[in-house]
Structure 1
Amino acid sequence: MKFIKSAQYDKQFLLDNMMGPNALKILEELTVGLDLHPGMKVLDLGCGKGLTSIFLAKEFGVQVYATDLWITATENYERFKSLGLDELITPIHADATELPYAENYFDAVISVDSYHYFGHTPEFMDAKLAPYVKPGGFIALAVPGFKEEYHSNLPPEFLISWGAADLDTFHCCDWWQTLLSHASTIKVDSVAELTCMDEAWQDWLACDEEHAINDRGSMNAGAGKYMNLIAIKATKI
């Protein structure tokens, strides 16, 4: 697809604030077909430096709760304020396993490049995330993953940049489908590959951030042919 919305954002601003493959392109593809509109309360879970929160506020006019554990609320607030978005985005510093919200509060949850860190256990969805979504609300997740399950025989390209433990939470579409099918509080609508993987990764590798520099070894050696970006969409029952 053509990333018309993402292309409007300042390239240097994106490079300065990326924490992984280009989250705006991932989010632009993830939100195709989603009913996001002004007045909705949206949890952006694992928002990092807030690029996805900025996109959600600017492109859809929703009220965003930008929640992250690694980046402080103050740092993100200053970024949102500098863009004139502080009235649409509320920064929250919180652990995804201990969210400080009321149950049935959100119309939607969006999570880009973070759910795999904390949501890879069978109980997480029912116990830790779905309770905060209104019945009929939706959950849209984008996670990095594999084309197939390679953990028992990792391709050598991976080991140039990463150890086996770094890839523990990377899985294939079928694995995620099976995991989330056990959740009793959601209906899984789709689990599918995103088309933006190559573009999103190339944007990330162009950053001078230390993790991007480290990732270049494996990706330049061809690790990308085994990898995936996965979109998961579900509805709260």
Structure 2
Amino acid sequence: MDDAELDVLLRNERYPRAAAYSGRWMVDGAMGPNPVWQAEALTELMPLEPGMRVLDLGCGTALSSVFLAKEFGIEVWAADLWVQPDENLRRVVEAGLEGRVYPVQAEAHALPFAEGFFDALVSIGAYHYFGTDDLYVGYFSRFAKPGGRIGIIQPGLAEEYETLPPPHLEPYWQWDFCAWHSPGWWRRHWEKTGLVAVEVADRLPDGWRDWLQWNEACDLDSGTPGREEAQMLHADAGRTLGLTRVIARRNS
């Protein structure tokens, strides 16, 4: 598929900022649902101001970090365990953001930063891999200044279910989907610590459609249309699956 065709498949009026970025750049760096779209959806409700220091935890190939730095004039520490910093630095330099995006290799439980260093913390498509631990938000939030915001967005459920998976999703279910949770679950999970005040906990409106559009474009580009994740999203049609968005403020 040529790049122009891919750009057409990835047109989405919901994400006007992301429309300025190459579809090829996004697809080639993909590690799950479109991180640039998710970053734009998160920042609709999470204000970022020029000059802020922001941690992007679980940044993957740093697409979200590049987007946030370019769009909001912030400095971003792009932290990931699996993608090497030199790979991400190459993408940062190509984007003209050397000195504003700092790639770091870090494990989520051993972050190499001073407490209170960041004005804001974000995690896009990754927090559920490490943040379901009852104690994690207490560790993570300490890297934000008092009053600083913490924002996450990732795959999630409409509600909590006594038994997983729902019958219509049995053919597609993977064991690690057990880390997907509802907005209400995340609100309780964070607020019970008393360390943060949750300002937003919602399902991104029609987030499942964005997720499906992205998967279908990636599948067509790879020459393997109709792969299992797209089939799952079609079968579910938003009943159970979507994108969960949570924004909180660190208490002083």
> TM (normalized to structure 1)?
0.91
The one-letter code matched in structure 2 to 1:115 is: Y
How far is 1:46 from its partner?
Answer: 0.7
1:172 aligns with 2:186: no
* CA shift in 2, pair 1:218/1:36, >3 Å: same
1:55 aligns with 2:77: no
How far is 1:186 from its partner?
Answer: 1.4
Which residue does 2:9 correspond to in 1?
A: none
> C-alpha separation between the residues in 2 aligned to 1:131 and 1:65?
16
Which residue does 2:130 correspond to in 1?
A: 118
> C-alpha separation between the residues in 1 aligned to 2:110 and 2:227?
32
Which residue does 1:201 correspond to in 2?
A: 212
How far is 1:168 from its partner?
Answer: 1.1
Which residue does 1:229 correspond to in 2?
A: 243
Q: Indicate the larger mover: 5-14 or 147-156.
A: 147-156
How far is 1:177 from its partner?
Answer: 1.3
1:143 aligns with 2:154: yes
Contact 1:21-1:202 at 8 Å conserved across structures: no
How far is 1:52 from its partner?
Answer: 0.6
How far is 1:162 from its partner?
Answer: 2.9
Contact 1:41-1:108 at 8 Å conserved across structures: yes
Contact 2:215-2:230 at 8 Å conserved across structures: no
The one-letter code matched in structure 1 to 2:62 is: G
> C-alpha separation between the residues in 1 aligned to 2:109 and 2:237?
31
1:218 aligns with 2:244: no
Contact 2:165-2:173 at 8 Å conserved across structures: no
Identity %: 36
1:64 aligns with 2:71: no
Q: Which has the higher contact order (CA 8 A, sep 6+)?
A: 1
* Runs of 4+ in structure 1 over 3 Å off: none
Which residue does 2:104 correspond to in 1?
A: 92
Q: Indicate the larger mover: 139-148 or 218-227.
A: 218-227
Which residue does 2:40 correspond to in 1?
A: 28
Which residue does 1:188 correspond to in 2?
A: 198
> C-alpha separation between the residues in 1 aligned to 2:35 and 2:87?
18
Give the number of equivalent residue pairs: 234
1:6 aligns with 2:18: yes
> C-alpha separation between the residues in 2 aligned to 1:74 and 1:167?
30
For structure 2, the residue ranges without an aligned partner over 5 or more in a row are 1-12
Which residue does 2:172 correspond to in 1?
A: 161
The one-letter code matched in structure 2 to 1:228 is: G
How far is 1:34 from its partner?
Answer: 2.9
> C-alpha separation between the residues in 1 aligned to 2:20 and 2:189?
36
Q: Indicate the larger mover: 137-146 or 220-229.
A: 220-229
Q: Which of residues 47, 54, 57 in structure 2 aligns to 1:45?
A: 57
> TM (normalized to structure 2)?
0.86
1:15 aligns with 2:27: yes
| 1:72-87 matches, cutoff 5 A | 72-87=84-99
> C-alpha separation between the residues in 2 aligned to 1:201 and 1:97?
32
> C-alpha separation between the residues in 1 aligned to 2:230 and 2:140?
33
The one-letter code matched in structure 1 to 2:250 is: K
Contact 1:115-1:141 at 8 Å conserved across structures: yes
List per-residue Cα deviations over 1:36-64 (Å, max 9, x = no partner).
12211000011111111011011001000
How far is 1:215 from its partner?
Answer: 1.5
Contact 2:233-2:241 at 8 Å conserved across structures: no
SS in 1 for 2:197: strand
